[in-house]
Structure 1
């Protein structure tokens, strides 16, 4: 009898409010691969300014697990639930997680929006640190803004990219 190989998938999970970092640490403590996209931001207090790493998408992190590990994830401190789309847990292709990591490592300033942006013209970035990433144009300014959808998460990432670095996909 041949045993089926269990395939790990990236699944988005919703965390309790402001518990993303603690939930990630708890998952890692259970040897569960967890990815929390963080963005460095300058925060202003009344007496000082400080650079802090903030979650790119509030209350979201991603786990790379086999189907049998879902209960263990849900039993982790700080985790509320999996994200569902059309009645099933939303799964993200490895490439989307790689693209997200690439975006966060790039010098581009990112903006997250929950706005339901209408799909536009599809493009691919042809040069620079984001080369190979495919997205949709959402607005024309002095530069084109590139919209990258994160699967079925109902969130979008907006990145300013020079028009000379993109090419239309027919």
Structure 2
């Protein structure tokens, strides 16, 4: 089992940004030498005169920082950062493996959708092949398709990913 404190007491923390400030806050954190992760997804945007592919944050107003607990003030003094995310009255932390799974999801070419709906737990599964091999999650019925749910409980967010039934292993 992985240590959730990571190397040298470093932990992943979800932070809440000012509206539409995710990319600027991310750049400011990197410029300060703070390890940060901002999951971006490509979307085709339609304007009246053109279409264009743009990169948008997967989870609006959120990004992740990997810091020792005593560096929280430095993160809060970064332009664009609003506050740390709290869960049960304490600053929320994310296990290293959840961030790694999120990075793996983002590296895949599967369609994704983020929802704040409190989806009810379903059948637990593991992906047994393809770019998401080894990721565990829950099956939920959504738009009459079977989809993999990766729940980021400490943030109150859920990520739905289309996954072919042939690649799902029930346990």
TM-score (norm 1): 0.93
The range that moved more, 14-23 or 141-150, is 141-150
Aligned-residue offset at 1:105: 1.0
The structure having more radius of gyration, on CA atoms, is: 1
Q: Which residue of 2 aligns with 1:59?
A: 61
Aligned-residue offset at 1:16: 0.1
Question: Residues 32-91 of structure 1, C-alpha deviation per residue, up to 9 Å, x if partnerless?
Answer: 001000000000111000000000000000000001110000010000000010011111
Give secondary structure in 1 for the equivalent of 2:15: strand
Aligned-residue offset at 1:151: 3.1
Q: Which residue of 1 aligns with 2:34?
A: 32
Q: Is the 8 A contact 1:126 1:166 kept in 2?
A: yes
Q: Report the Cα distance in structure 2 between the residues aligned to 1:103 and 1:74, rounded to whole angstroms.
A: 28
Q: Report the Cα distance in structure 1 between the residues aligned to 2:56 and 2:135, rounded to whole angstroms.
A: 24
Pair 1:85-2:87 in alignment: yes
Pair 1:132-2:171 in alignment: no
Q: Report the Cα distance in structure 1 between the residues aligned to 2:153 and 2:134, rounded to whole angstroms.
A: 17
Aligned-residue offset at 1:94: 0.9
Aligned-residue offset at 1:6: 4.3
Size of the aligned set, in residue pairs, is 165
Which of 94, 108, 111 is 2:110 aligned to?
Answer: 108
TM-score (norm 2): 0.93
**Which consecutive residues of structure 1, in runs of 5 or more, have no partner in the other structure?**
none
Aligned-residue offset at 1:104: 0.9
